[in-house]
């Protein structure tokens, strides 16, 4: 696995794949670890999870720098990501026992109850865009539930993959509880088919999700899929426009524009559309693009050159289909994989920037006649991950939220994940939930116990 620093275009490290013997050994270690780990008390698991929280906080600088080097996010956002991982460890250390407490159900039995027992080793196929957070939001609940984890991370972040294994090892988790497998995607199905593996979760693009879900279907294994999105960001005529604009810029450029829940389609009601387009363009042009290690930088590079080429192709096709390019639309003339902040106006269904996920700093603005038109357009997408609605009339926004086909709707705010709240999507954005009580109940055996 070859790591190229996206800010310079230079190779920073090469890491050999794990061979078949290593992978077989890891599967055996996972199976052995599960036989002990599944019987540990919640307090013991929680003590180790709190130790993981401590390791993360102690090594924040090192892990944040590693993320910047491997995938180019800005340093403050990488530091915030390590903090958020510590938070999810803390959250599940504190709440897992209550989330999974057996529930009594009154029936004709003298006693009947529902237990939430662990499943076994769970394979996690993860993306590079939040290289720590995506893994911890799977691992913290899965381990607290008594499962053990096997990580197949994206091929461009092997340093992060090994660092996460180190966190759990140094926090005192027993051998085999959490292991990284450095393997390409072509070897995922063989691991998934192994009887030791009981379930699989994938966070990534929808083609990867379809492929892994098909393989899991053949092996009859449970899946959770957290896939892409083309989140609508609805601005109604009665919105606080300044708040909407400030949030719109952050929502689009978050993580250098490479977030599943970044706002991608800005659906603006006609009376405020001219002002929104002009102000939004001005604010996007004012962003400081540059070295992600420089704390003054707003927008860093894209993670890989092929992603930049794909993004530019989407912009070119959208303009060719009739959209107006208000700013950007080009690669920056400097080393690394930098793309200019881009705003496209007059975007409609059928155009690439509307129908496909744009993974970079490219905003598509669509005009709508009224709120009904806005919701119809918001739902006219293959995806259904997050959505935002900006309006001063909260009751009206709440009523509209009910009609939005998405896993979460944020009113007058930035769509974000939170350890306390369920996170996930529908349609091509996948299925299942992470985080909160719903997330920890994905990889458990919901077991009925009945006593005469
Ligand atoms: P990706 O190319 O789909 O890769 C994701 C992971 O899947 C990587 O580990 C990749 O391994 C593996 N993979 C790809 N194709 C596979 C296949 N056919 N079989 C088995 N494994 C396969 O996605 P990405 O570029 O890393 O991440 C960006 C995508 O993730 C975006 O679509 C984004 O929206 C989505 N995402 C979703 C969420 C969410 O919570 N819904 C969160 C973050 C990101 P290799 O690297 O070795 O190819």
Mean pLDDT per block of 10 residues along the chain (452 residues) reads 97 97 98 98 98 98 98 98 98 98 98 98 98 98 98 98 98 98 98 98 97 98 98 98 98 98 98 98 98 98 98 98 98 98 98 98 98 98 98 98 98 98 98 98 98 97
Residue 23 Cα to ligand 1 midpoint, Å, equals 21
Looking at residue 319, its pLDDT comes to 98
> How far, in Å, CA of 341 to CA of 302, rounded?
12
256 CB less than 6 Å from ligand 1? no
Q: Are 301 and 289 in contact, with CB atoms under 8 Å apart?
A: no
89 catalytic per annotation: no
Looking at residue 409, its pLDDT comes to 98
Output the residue whose Cα is nearest ligand 1's atom 22. Answer: 185
Q: Are 142 and 122 in contact, with CB atoms under 8 Å apart?
A: yes
Length of the chain: 452
In 3D, which of 215, 245, 50 has the Cα closest to residue 125? Answer: 215
125 CB less than 6 Å from ligand 1? yes
Q: For residue 425, which atom of ligand 1 is closest to its CA?
A: 41
For 240, the token pair is 């606080």
Sheet holding 263-269, edge to edge: 324-327, 342-345, 362-368, 263-269, 231-235, 386-390, 408-411
> How far, in Å, CA of 169 to CA of 177, rounded?
9
Domains of the chain: residue spans and CATH:
2-228+427-451 (3.40.605.10), 231-382+386-411 (3.40.309.10)
Q: For strand 178-180 and strand 408-411, is the pairing parallel, antiparallel, or unpaired? A: unpaired
Q: Which of 2, 81, 127 to mutate to test the pocket of ligand 1 (most atoms within 8 A of CB)?
A: 127
Integer CA distances (angstroms), 76 to 63, 266, 297, 298, in order:
12, 26, 9, 10
81 CB less than 6 Å from ligand 1? no
In 3D, which of 94, 101, 105 has the Cα closest to residue 115? Answer: 101
Looking at residue 293, its pLDDT comes to 98
Q: What is the DSSP letter of 187?
A: G
3-class DSSP string for 126-147: CCCCCCCHHHHHHHHHHHHCCC
226 catalytic per annotation: yes
Q: How buried is residue 19: exposed, middle or buried, by Cβ count under 10 Å (0-12/13-18/19+)?
A: exposed
Q: Which of 85, 89, 177, 260 is catalytic?
A: 260
For residue 451, the Cα-to-chain-centroid distance in whole angstroms is 42
Looking at residue 226, its pLDDT comes to 98
The owner of tokens 């977030």 is 259
310 CB less than 6 Å from ligand 1? no
Neighbours of 400 (CB within 10 A): 22
For 398, the token pair is 């709440």
> How far, in Å, CA of 348 to CA of 345, rounded?
9
For 74, the token pair is 């800005």
> How far, in Å, CA of 322 to CA of 320, rounded?
5
Q: Are 389 and 236 in contact, with CB atoms under 8 Å apart?
A: yes
Looking at residue 355, its pLDDT comes to 98
Q: Are 100 and 34 in contact, with CB atoms under 8 Å apart?
A: no
Would you tell me the crossing angle of helices 394-402 and 371-379 to the nearest 10 degrees? Answer: 40
229 CB less than 6 Å from ligand 1? yes
Q: Which residues, 6+ apart, have CB-to-CB distance to 231 below 8 Å?
A: 261, 262, 263, 264, 265, 383, 385, 386, 387, 388, 406, 415
Neighbours of 1 (CB within 10 A): 18
For 148, the token pair is 């053990």
């Amino acid at each position: 696995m070859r790591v190229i620093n996206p800010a310079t275009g230079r190779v920073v490290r090469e890491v050999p794949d794990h061979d078949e013997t290593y992978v077989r050994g890891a599967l055996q270690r996972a199976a052995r670890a599960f036989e002990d780990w599944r019987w540990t008390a919640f307090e013991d698991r929680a003590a180790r999870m709190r130790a993981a929280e401590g390791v993360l906080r102690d090594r924040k600088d090192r892990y944040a720098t590693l993320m910047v080097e491997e995938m180019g996010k800005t340093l403050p956002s990488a530091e915030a990501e390590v903090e958020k991982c510590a938070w999810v460890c803390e959250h599940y250390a504190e709440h897992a026992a209550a989330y999974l407490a057996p529930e009594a159900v009154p029936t004709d039995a003298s006693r009947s109850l529902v237990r939430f027992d662990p499943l076994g080793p769970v394979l996690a196929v993860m993306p590079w865009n939040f290289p720590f957070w995506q893994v911890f939001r799977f691992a913290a609940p899965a381990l607290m539930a008594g499962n053990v984890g096997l990580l197949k991370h994206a091929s461009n972040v092997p340093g992060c993959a090994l660092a996460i294994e180190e966190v759990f090892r140094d926090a005192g988790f027993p051998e085999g509880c959490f292991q990284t497998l450095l393997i390409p995607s072509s070897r995922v199905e063989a691991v998934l088919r192994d009887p030791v593996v009981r379930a699989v979760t994938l966070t990534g693009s929808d083609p990867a999700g379809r492929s892994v879900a098909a393989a899991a279907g053949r092996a009859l294994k449970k899946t959770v899929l957290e896939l892409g999105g083309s989140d609508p960001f609805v601005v109604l005529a009665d919105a606080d426009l300044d708040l909407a604009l400030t949030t719109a810029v952050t929502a689009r450029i978050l993580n250098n524009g490479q977030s599943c829940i970044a706002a991608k389609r800005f659906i603006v009601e006609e009376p405020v559309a001219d002002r929104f387009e002009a102000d939004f363009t001005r604010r996007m042009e004012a962003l400081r693009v540059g070295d992600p290690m420089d704390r003054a930088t707003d927008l860093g590079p894209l993670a890989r050159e092929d992603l930049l080429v794909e993004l530019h192709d989407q912009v070119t096709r959208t303009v060719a289909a009739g959209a107006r390019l208000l700013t950007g639309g080009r690669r920056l003339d400097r080393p690394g994989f930098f793309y200019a902040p881009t705003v496209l106006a007059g975007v409609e269904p059928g155009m690439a920037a509307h129908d496909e996920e744009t993974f970079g700093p490219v905003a598509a603005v669509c005009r709508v006649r009224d709120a009904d038109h806005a919701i119809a357009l918001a739902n006219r997408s293959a995806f259904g991950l997050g959505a935002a609605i900006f309006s001063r009339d909260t009751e009206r926004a709440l009523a509209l939220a009910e009609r939005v086909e998405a896993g979460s709707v944020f009113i007058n705010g930035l769509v974000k994940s939170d350890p306390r709240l369920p996170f996930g999507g529908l349609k091509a954005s996948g299925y299942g939930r992470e985080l909160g009580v719903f997330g920890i109940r994905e990889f458990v055996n919901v077991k009925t116990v009945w006593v005469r």
